[in-house]
Structure 1
Amino acid sequence: MSNEKTFKALVVEETNDGEFKKSIHERKVSDLPENDLLIEVHYSSLNYKDAMSATGNKRITRNYPHTPGIDAAGVVVSDKSGTFSAGQEVLVFGYDLGMDTAGGLGQIISIPADWAIECPKSLTLKEAMIYGTGGLTAALSVQKLEKMGAKPEDGPVAVTGATGGVGSISIAILSQLGYEVIAFSGKPEQSDYLKNLGASEVRHRDTINEIGSKPIGRELWANAIDTLGGDYLANLLKQTKAGGAVTSCGLAGGAEFSMTVMPFITRAVSLLGVDSVLIPLEDKKAIWQRVSTDMKLPDLEGYAEEITLEQTPEYLDRFISSKVVGRYVVNVRG
């Protein structure tokens, strides 16, 4: 592919007055970093981290102009490392993609070969992006609970941020595996949507915090998947049954929380961190095999809304204004 070939990409630019604007630009392959693997992106997806990058969050992206997109699914154009063949379908999640390396919201990306994995045969590129990093994080969260011994017969699993990307896929996977799920959301009008995903009960997220400053509360759920952090995470832990576990993968409700050690030393409750960015490539391949087999959801199209590259500025703003429902898959070439 010629270095002068042009392609479309979402570009975030910092203006002279310190604002950040999002627009679709024509870019050249020569604008991309020099790496071994060149990929023609077919689908991407939107995540909260993309929205933070698109609003100029310097903890996510240091240098602008920049193309966000921490997810990408596409076809190999060339690979100098010899790891992949031209025409091979591959997936990219995490590492530096979409952070300070031009990401999947561009029609072509250039990355190190060891950032990519082959797309499982039982998934299309679009299906893989319906999961995206949100779905990958959900699958990792469920798997971590399983490794701690979680079983459906133990009792319900609480899921916070239920209408978001991680929360919604978590509910669907848990339900498919036979778990009872209590969904917590700040959008009570989405109760029918959450029950259709598999939640047996929907509660307002603020009910988690009704325990207040008590060091420990009634045992209300066997395990939990938390996507919010802050007081929600602390109070989930206080109300988890003895021997249960809570996974943590988000901070929309705050990066800090305060509590006593009581749930840990009187009930042996476990707090489990979940990372989907820098996990070893072999672990990433393994979880994607599960996503494409026993964790594969039926009627995947119903879990996401497909949008075009041109619509991404508007949809990224939804994350900042807390108007996200489910997953958004981007048809980058559509």
Structure 2
Amino acid sequence: MGFRALITDKDAAGKVTSSVQVLEEERLPEGDVSVDIEWAGLNYKDGLCLTGGGGLVRAYPHVAGIDFAGTVRESRDGRYAIGDQVVLTGWRVGETHWGGYAERARVNADWLVPLPAGLSTRDAMVVGTAGLTAMLAIDRLEGAGLKPGAGEVLVTGAAGGVGSIATALLSRLGYQVAALSGRPQHGDALRALGAASIIDRNDFLAQPDKPLESARWDGAIDSVGGEVLGKLLKQVKYGGAVASLGNAGGIALETTVLPFILRGVTLIGIDSVMQPYATRVAAWKRIAETFDIAAYAGLVREMGLEELPVAATEILAGEVRGRVIVRPGLS
């Protein structure tokens, strides 16, 4: 029996387009577990894959979608049985391997994580790669000494998927969150997630630039990069740490050694793609215990496969608030 998938293809002139097609099982790539996909997510990388940006997709036709959740349909691996609910993020699925924008996927069992208790497959994609990355950042910051109650933690790109979930998680864990965004019109939604203050990105960048600025932040989670990351490093308190996990504002980093050698600031890189199994399981467990799905409901938008090409351009333009989740079976 065939299944629906969003097929992304490139023509001889290099134009990339996507369309919903019905495929047969034998079209799926190699793998030892087949999953009936119930929900997938829309992430910045997905926007690149659907538009041909960034060189992420090497072979066409392709099925994008870097994360998904669903139920095991077939398994040749003893860790997963038919009917088990699972989550997949990372491992370049949706980039070099067919991903979640289909009703079915076939993947390597090592890439899967059992759905944690307390989360539905829909909940898992509300969290998705964005939430997993945010929790990995919090875990690393706490490992570097960050503790609740001492001072403010800055979250940049706070209206986006990673930033909004990081804001919600930090608040639930007892941190005082300052949410920085280029879209201050979303301030009320961020306050509802627990942000103690809202900072306009333009105002933040307009402050006088010095090699070291007034120490303000106990720590920070940065999903923007570029000029924003360069400036916030100058404002971190002695012994503080910054988790860097995105580059929506650019890949260049202009800074000096002064924050590092005079204040002992630590810059931590966060990668969610190749994280080992045990780290993923622990992060998902903590998410299930911490994240308030109901409180985040107003920042969730649902769509079917047909709507993804337009949504891809929106997320690349910074026009998506919160999380977009995809229901492949919706037509």
2:47 to 44, 48, 51: 51
What letter matches 2:65 in structure 1?
G
CA offsets per residue over residues 260-287 of structure 1, 9 Å max, x none?
A: 1000010011101111110101110111
SS of alignment partner, residue 223 of structure 1: strand
Distance apart, 1:211 and its partner CA: 4.7
Name the counterpart of 2:2: 6
Match of 1:146 among 120, 124, 142: 142
Aligned to 2:298: 302
1:166 matched to 2:165? The reply is no
1:194 aligns with 2:198: no
- The residue type equivalent to 1:170 in the other structure is A
One-letter identity of the residue aligned with 2:203: T
Q: CA deviation at 1:83?
A: 2.0
- Within the candidate set 2, 5, 16, 1:20 is matched to 16
Q: Does 1:258 align with 2:254?
A: yes
RMSD: 1.4
TM-score by length of 2: 0.96
Residue 246 of structure 1 is matched in structure 2 by: 242
Q: 1:55-87 deviations in whole A, cap 9, x for unaligned?
A: 112531111221110101011111112221011
Decide which moves more: 227-236 or 300-309: 300-309
1:267 matched to 2:289? The reply is no
2:85 is equivalent to residue 89 of structure 1? yes
Out of 23, 41, 57, the position equivalent to 1:61 is 57
1:224 is matched with which residue?
Answer: 220
Q: Alpha carbons of 1:247 and 1:58: their partners in 2 closer, same or farther (altered >3 Å)?
A: closer
Q: Distance in 1 between matches of 2:10 and 2:209?
A: 42
CA displacement at 1:105 relative to structure 2: 0.8
Structure-1 separation of matches of 2:27 and 2:16: 20
Q: Conserved in 2, the CA contact under 8 Å of 1:290 and 1:296? A: no
Aligned-partner residue type, residue 13 of structure 1: D
Partner of 1:41: 37
Change (3 A) 1:166 1:117: same
Give 5+ residue unaligned stretches, structure 1.
none
Letter in 1 for 2:152: P
1:24-71 CA-to-partner distances (Å, cap 9, x unmatched) read: 111121111121111110000100000011111253111122111010
Tell me the distance in 2 between the aligned counterparts of 1:198 and 1:61: 37
Q: Does 1:325 align with 2:321?
A: yes
User: 1:14: Cα distance to partner?
Assistant: 1.0
Q: Does 1:100 pair with 2:96?
A: yes
Aligned equivalents of 1:37, 1:105: Cα separation in 2 = 17
CA distance in 2, matches of 1:209, 1:86: 52
CA displacement at 1:115 relative to structure 2: 0.6
Q: Secondary structure at the match of 1:243?
A: strand
- 1:201 offset after TM fit, Å? 1.2
Cα separation, partners in 2 of 1:300 and 1:85, compared to 1, 3 Å: farther
Q: What is the one-letter code of the residue matched to 1:312?
A: L
Q: TM-score, structure 1 length as denominator? A: 0.95
Structure 1 residue ranges (4+ consecutive) displaced by more than 6 angstroms after TM superposition: none
CA shift at 1:300, angstroms? 4.5
Asked whether the equivalents of residues 127 and 300 of structure 1 are also in contact (C-alpha less than 8 Å), the reply is no
Equivalenced residue count is 330
Q: What is the CA distance between 1:310 and its match in structure 2?
A: 2.0
**Distance in 2 separating the partners of 1:257 and 1:325:** 25
- TM-fit CA distance, 1:250: 0.3
Aligned equivalent of 2:110: 114
For 1:234, give the aligned amino acid.
G
Q: Distance in 1 between matches of 2:276 and 2:41?
A: 22
Cα distance between partner residues in 2 of 1:294 and 1:132: 15
Per-residue CA deviation, residues 181-215 of structure 1 (Å, 9 max, x unaligned), is 11111112111121112111111113333355521
